Amino acid sequence: MAEVQLNFGAGLIKALHKNTSAEDIVRLIKANGYDARVQGEPLEEASRPAGKLRTKTLLAVVSGLLLGAGLVSEWAWADRGLQVYLFAAAMATGGYYVYKTAIDSLRSLILDMNVLMSISSVGAVFLGQWSEGATVVFLFSVGNLLQAYTIDKTRSSIKAMMQLAPKEARVIAGDGGESMIPAEKVSVGDTILVKPGESIPVDGTVIKGLSWVNQASITGESKPVEKTEGEEVFAGSLNNEGSLYIRCTHLATDSTLAKMIQLVEEAQAKKAPSQQFVDVFARYYTPAVIIGSVLVVAVPVVLLGLPFADWFYKALVLLVISCPCALVISTPVSIVSAIGNAARNGVLIKGGVYLEALGKVKNIAFDKTGTVTTGMMTVTDIYPVDNIDSDRLLQAAGAVERFSEHPLARSVMAEVSKRNISLPESDSFRSFPGKGAVCKVEGKEIYVGNKRLVAELGIPLGEIAQVEAELEKSGKTIVYMTTSRKLLGILGIEDVPRNSAGEAVKQLQQLGIEKVVILSGDNEATAANIAGRLGIKEYRSNLLPDDKVREVEALTRQGETVMVGDGVNDAPALAVANVGIAMGAAGTDTALDTADVALMNDELMHIPAVIRLGRKARAIIGQNVVIAVGLKLIFLVLTFVGISNLWMAVFADTGASILVTLNGMRLARYKF
């Protein structure tokens, strides 16, 4: 195999293999004591997680009963042979999976907790401590059982997401007939019907009908959203009221929900810095513990002549206490819980490294248009020159802007549509990033852009300069229309802050963020106007995409920096920030691909929420490390002063593992 990736959170292994079949890989995994299947294939009933947990539970219960019977027999001074039989049976039932996994691990030259526990229990029997050996195995089997249940809970976010989209879709044929087919067989362009109370099976566009759709599972929005003709809908969202006819735009395997599931799975596989450190530490720590245990026996017995049985027992206790299980799982269980929680609230965090970075953020830079503002700009002022009327000016602007996706272009087209202005033939569109665009309209080149483009063309503003100054003073964005030689006119366009922008900025400031900055390509007056309305003290105006990159780079040199943008025009700036957050990523492939964190809707309040989540995650990871290491140190001291014993060591180790797992799972219930 060329490459193997283990995803703890999703319970997945991705293997890049050339000369090895998938079946051989599955057999290899099973030979090492684990259940496995090729993704998408049915799992045998005996190997299903629920079935295996039931078997482990039954064995643990039987082991406990046998152990209890053995202890009662021991206290009643019953026959020694009966006691040994009961304790041996308790070890066999409770330790079935432990010993089996230990043997498989040794075959692979891996020294894991099962190996250490097996050595300890067998060592106790060697010393004649049958009751302690049975107690060790029983407590360890119960601990493993509880861990299996709790870790399974941490994977519930992906399982829940996978169950959101229905398995079948109601497809409308050309003759109007309906047929139910598997959702994965719906093709792009097919028309499907979704009735009230049904989930939407694929991404698509509404072509007929009106309804309210609950898309909280995708975007995190708490209220249903009205959907009518031309509106986009997502697989996994719930149709509440009316029937909707939807034209499929993405295959089921390529839907927004499918991409979310894939991104969450990949995110849980990406290790945070603290997790990488713990993994490296554990790799060298476990062999060191075994060597240390050997020395605990050898030095006192060989060099000092002390009793073998006493120090061999202490070495067995040391083996159990020093196992790094709790430390190893302390970070991943926290990361998985936090990422799963964020995904349920419409926030995709692409890995633990970004979650930890969010917990340390000092600076936040916001793009202006479409990020802190609605992006739904409105043309408020039209000033034509050279005897051109308003409609002719809008007609020229529309002929160019029809090819652009910029928010300013959309506002121009909205005004053109509002006035029912027909557009002339236009072609040869070219874009100038950060400046504007040009297009041939009825054979003439028409430029539409900002003041920077006009300056490069050398076009004099003439009489319009005074109007320009008044528009800039009022904080409006100005769009200039020119030929290659003269000005045709200008448009004044106004954008307004998002409803939640002011409160989001206020919360960020309360969180102690050192710098909140607006980065804008607009003129200074416009940027200052929006910044002032939001209570933001710092802003940068007249920025090209490269300028935004330099500004973000400067902020990153001062501390951990988050850049918030739309994921398309701001992709370079998002890439250089410590964490790039893309707004409104639902249905936007570019935003999902380029950002480190993707907000599936445009809710700015999720930004302070996800920063708090990052801080909470770092705090809980720290607590888990203290719990894992602290308990071991306490019992290590107790061992050498003769107070601790084997079953107490197992209780401490298993207890620590369960404590850090439960503590990490608190992040799954963290309120956004």
Summarize pLDDT for 510-556 with one digit per residue, the tens.
999 999 999 988 778 888 888 888 999 999 988 877 888 899 999 99
Q: Which helix (H) or strand (E) holds 550?
A: helix 545-558
Q: What is the dihedral of CA 332, 338, 340, 346, to 10 degrees?
A: -150
**What are 173-214's pLDDT values in tens digits?**
877 788 888 888 888 888 999 988 888 888 899 998 888 888
> Quick one: which of 325, 312, 169 has its CA closest to 247?
169
The pLDDT assigned to 137 comes to 82
Residue 495, both tokens: 């954008």
pTM: 0.67
24-66 pLDDT, tens digit each: 777 766 665 566 767 655 545 444 555 667 888 888 889 889 9
Structure tokens at 593: 């691909």
Is residue 346 within 8 A of residue 260, CB to CB? The reply is: no
Count of C-beta atoms within a 10 Å radius of residue 123 = 21
* Residues 30/36, Cβ–Cβ less than 8 Å: yes
Partners of residue 379 on adjacent β-strands? 493
Catalytic residue among 104, 203, 367, 596: 367
Distance CA 269, CA 263 (A): 10
Let me know if 190 is a catalytic residue: no
Using alpha carbons, select from 296, 238, 286 the residue that is nearest to residue 114.
286
Helix (H, G, I), strand (E, B) or coil at 442: coil
- pLDDT above 90 covers a percentage of the chain that reads 13
CA distances from 384 to 369, 389, 395, 423 (A): 25, 6, 12, 17
| Residues pairing with 348 in the sheet | 598
DSSP E strand boundaries for 116-184: 168-172, 178-182
Q: Which residue type, as a one-letter code, is found at position 637?
A: V
Residue 570 · residue 548 · CB < 8 Å: yes
Q: What per-residue confidence (pLDDT) applies to 477?
A: 83
Kindly list the structural domains of the chain, giving each domain's residue range(s) and its CATH number in brackets, ordered by start.
3-47 (no CATH), 50-156+267-335+618-669 (no CATH), 168-254 (2.70.150.10), 353-373+498-613 (3.40.50.1000), 378-494 (3.40.1110.10)
Q: In this structure, which amino acid lies at residue 610?
A: V
Beta-sheet strand order (sheet of 487-494): 378-384, 487-494, 477-482, 444-449, 436-441, 426-432
Greatest alpha-carbon pair distance for the chain in Å reads 115
Q: Is pLDDT at 269 greater than 70 in this prediction?
A: no
Distance (Å, rounded) from C-alpha 94 to C-alpha 621?
A: 31
Lowest-confidence pick of 115-119, 220-224, 349-353: 220-224
- What is the b/e burial string over 345-363, where b = at least 16 CB atoms within 10 angstroms of the residue's CB? bbbbbbbbbbbbbbbebbb
Q: Across all residues in the chain, what is the average pLDDT?
A: 80
**Per this entry, what is the length of the chain?**
672
In whole angstroms, what is the distance from residue 31 CA to residue 42 CA? 19
Q: Using only C-alpha atoms, what is the Rg of the chain? A: 32
Q: How crowded is residue 559: how many other Cβ atoms within 10 Å of its Cβ? A: 14
Nearest Cα residue to 520 out of 507, 510, 530, 511? 530
